[in-house]
Amino acid sequence: MQINVIGIGAGNPQHLTLEAIAALQESDAVVALDKGENKADLLGARQYIIATHAPGIPLITVSDPPRDRDPADYRAEVRRWHQARAQLLLEALPDVEQVAFLVWGDPALYDSTLRIIERMRGLGLDCSVRVIPGITAVHALTAAHGILLNRIGEDIRITTGRALLDGPTTNAVVMLDGGAAWLDVPDAQIWWGAYLGTELQVLRSGTVAEIGAGLAEEKAALREQHGWIMDIYLLRR
Ligand SMILES: C[S@@+](CC[C@H](N)C(=O)[O-])C[C@H]1O[C@@H](n2cnc3c(N)ncnc32)[C@H](O)[C@@H]1O
């Protein structure tokens, strides 16, 4: 079996590359993890992509196994969860030549699909893997604001809300922030985007000192309103 791990871009169906469309059309089935109703729009985006570019290809959804969000040992819990996901996906894999996994953004950036496929191999799956790159949320953010990630010659760090203060914030892109970690860097500039590439897209920019507190309130209100939120931002000092 061949598994096509296809980056689908970060929200806008037009992010899909020609290579991604071709790989999808060569696939016999698509497998997706259903992450529950809060993220239903993400599953909806995959359904839309299949209906548009490869109608008729079966979509097999697997319900995400439960995860402890506040474990004593975070890494151990994530490993246990990935193993449970691998087991469920392995059981759901159809007996076909090519299966596609549609991955949000790019498969190399904060995504566990490739790791889970390795675990499936560990459980006995015999497969080759082909990766098709996708437009990341980082690029959706910079394009939406029309900005560069760095000033001339500077380095860029991509991190999570949890780890923001563990390293430099010359140019720090923050993903996976459940709260408002920007408030910890009051002297930075921020370029923030939520629901990028979708009809719900919201963009804000300014100094953290000026807009940070209001943005934290707005983020909470948007999450309340829509039931979920995905946001990303560049901080620059
Ligand atoms: C699990 S990571 C997946 C990243 C993805 N593989 C990529 O290449 O962009 C999810 C995080 O990506 C960011 N993200 C993804 N899509 C986004 C979007 N449309 N708008 C804002 N942030 C997004 C958010 O920070 C979210 O917490």
Q: Is-contact 61 44, C-beta < 8 A?
A: no
Of the two residues 44 and 185, the one the predictor is more confident about is: 185
The residue assigned the tokens 């560049």 is 234
Both 19 and 121 in one domain: the answer is: yes
Confidence label for 46 from pLDDT (cuts 50, 70 and 90): confident
Ligand 1 center–CA 9 separation, angstroms: 9
Kindly report, residue by residue over 122-176, the tens digit of the pLDDT.
Answer: 999 999 999 999 999 999 999 999 999 999 999 999 999 999 999 999 999 999 9
Per-residue pLDDT tens digits for 50-98? 999 999 999 998 888 888 888 888 889 888 888 898 999 999 999 999 9
CB atoms within 10 A of CB 118: 15
Say which CATH number the domain at 228 has.
3.30.950.10
Q: What residue numbers bound the domain in which 127 lies?
A: 2-135
69 with 104, same domain? yes
Which tokens sit at 166?
């563990």
One-character DSSP codes across 180-235: -GGGG-TTSEEEEEESTTSTT-EEEEEEHHHHHHHHHHHHHHHHHHHS---EEEEE
Ligand 1 contacts (CB < 6 A) are 10-11, 104-106, 109-111, 136-137, 140, 175-176, 193-197, 230-232
pLDDT of residue 35: 67
Instruction: State the total domains in the chain.
Output: 2
